[in-house]
Amino acid sequence: MEKKRILIANKFYYPRGGDCVVAMNLEQLLREQGHEVAVFAMQHPENVESGWNGYYASQVDFAGSIGNKVRAAKRLMGWGDIKTSFNRILDDFKPDIVHLHNIHSYLSPVLAKIAKCHGCRVVWTLHDYKLVCPSYACLLNGKPCEKCIGHGKAHVLKNRCMKGSLVASALAWLEARKWNRSVLESYTDAFICPSNFMASKMKKDDFDPEKLHVVCNHIDPEKLRLYDSVGAGREDYYVYVGRLSPEKGVETLLNVASKLPCNLKVAGDGPLMATLKQQYSENSNIEFCGRLDSKQVAELLSKAQFSVMPSECYDNNPLGVIESLCAGTPVVGARIGGIPELLDEGNGITFASGNRDDLASAINQAFSTQWHYSSIKEAAGVRFSLNKHLEQVMEIYGA
């Protein structure tokens, strides 16, 4: 296999979220395969050392002083020192391929333009819906929304979709106009969509289907090792692991769980934590575990009868489902976004998103099903392996 020089760009370079983990794991495996890899990110105090930190773009922040906000707004448009710093690493490293990950806001889509002008092949993994929805999430008043998909982006301004703020929504609208579909397509050779669902929304927004490639997210190899270290045996509970926020459907789940005789463990934190803990404090079958570290999550998942992903938003290719399956734990998942693509009759049950009766029925069915936990774990370890992910990415690189 021909060795490549690959530059990976992501706005942060520490395990802040799924986008960072995916980018950092891919970087490590590319190095192990003998490719030369450089990294570009925004300066941030929590970044880990990459060897390329001196090239990073300066830190911007949308909070604080007017000066901070102005610098951050200029970054959205691709103005300021972002061009200088990115040109410098391109000139010095001379990559064959620039692989963009989560670059909006703190970096900029201008990276695609600059990379293409340097003669690089530009590949972009989409971790959210930003290219079709200026406010990222395809949500309006807490409900799925597609007003901007295929119909222009003015609805983000009309509905103040960015944090309810007219100023923030106006900036998002201007950003979407500057970095519109035709501009981004002209600078990007391939868009990687982690789910067929996301690819369908890109097509609906008139992106060229020939440039869209579906490549599922992978499991962090360290997580697999943690699951392997947990002793055998399942306990009498089911589990939710994730953010406690309205769009994740946790309010619907807890309402249902409070009326069932089964034990639910809830792991995670978020804006609803205090309210939900108070509301369900009298329910002895619901336990709030709070924020757990990776080892604790592995233990919790690996001993559960099943997990629940009750999303009421367009979850793209949720790592929560992938990690559960890799622990051998089946999933009761909402039929929304990319969740159903990950489940079949052997590893999970789906229900109508937001429907309490359907969720209750699915939970009862999951408890009465004889799951083959070891088979679920083995199949998921292959399906979501980093090596398989790399093989698909290398095809897109043109290796």
CATH number of the domain that 96 lies in? 3.40.50.2000
- pLDDT tens-digit readout, 129-181: 999 999 999 999 889 999 999 988 999 999 999 988 998 999 999 999 999 99
Domains: count for the chain:
2
Same domain, 172 and 209: yes
pLDDT (0 to 100) of residue 127 = 94
pLDDT (0 to 100) of residue 1 = 61
pLDDT (0 to 100) of residue 178 = 95
User: Alpha-carbon distance 329 to 314, whole Å?
Assistant: 22
Residue 185 has pLDDT above 60, yes or no: yes
Q: Which of 262, 215, 268 is nearest to 360 (CA)?
A: 262
Instruction: Kindly indicate the confidence band of residue 59, based on its pLDDT and cuts at 50, 70 and 90.
Output: very high
Residue 91 has pLDDT above 80, yes or no: yes
The proportion of the chain whose per-residue pLDDT surpasses 70, expressed as a percent, equals: 99
Q: 6 or 71: which carries more pLDDT confidence?
A: 6
pLDDT (0 to 100) of residue 64 = 76
pLDDT (0 to 100) of residue 51 = 94
The pTM (predicted TM-score) of the whole model is 0.93
Residue 220 has pLDDT above 90, yes or no: no
Same domain, 140 and 66: yes
Say if CB 241 and CB 268 are below 8 A apart.
yes
- pLDDT tens-digit readout, 102-122: 999 899 999 999 999 999 999
Same domain, 156 and 238: no
Same domain, 27 and 176: yes
Average confidence (pLDDT) over 67-87: 92
Same domain, 75 and 208: yes
For residue 82, list its beta bridge partners.
none
Instruction: Kindly indicate the confidence band of residue 357, based on its pLDDT and cuts at 50, 70 and 90.
Output: very high
pLDDT (0 to 100) of residue 399 = 56
pLDDT (0 to 100) of residue 17 = 83
Same domain, 257 and 212: no
Same domain, 264 and 210: no
The proportion of the chain whose per-residue pLDDT surpasses 90, expressed as a percent, equals: 87
pLDDT (0 to 100) of residue 222 = 87
Same domain, 371 and 389: no
pLDDT (0 to 100) of residue 67 = 85
Same domain, 336 and 204: no
Instruction: Kindly indicate the confidence band of residue 21, based on its pLDDT and cuts at 50, 70 and 90.
Output: confident
Average confidence (pLDDT) over 3-19: 93
Same domain, 359 and 392: no
Same domain, 53 and 200: yes
Same domain, 247 and 196: no
User: Which amino acid does the sequence have at 153?
Assistant: K
User: Alpha-carbon distance 206 to 151, whole Å?
Assistant: 10
Average confidence (pLDDT) over 36-42: 97
The DSSP-derived string for 34-102 is T-EEEEE-B--TTPPP-S-GGGPBPP--SSSSHHHHHHHHHHHHT-SHHHHHHHHHHHHH--SEEEE-S
**Which domain range does residue 125 map to?**
5-218+385-397
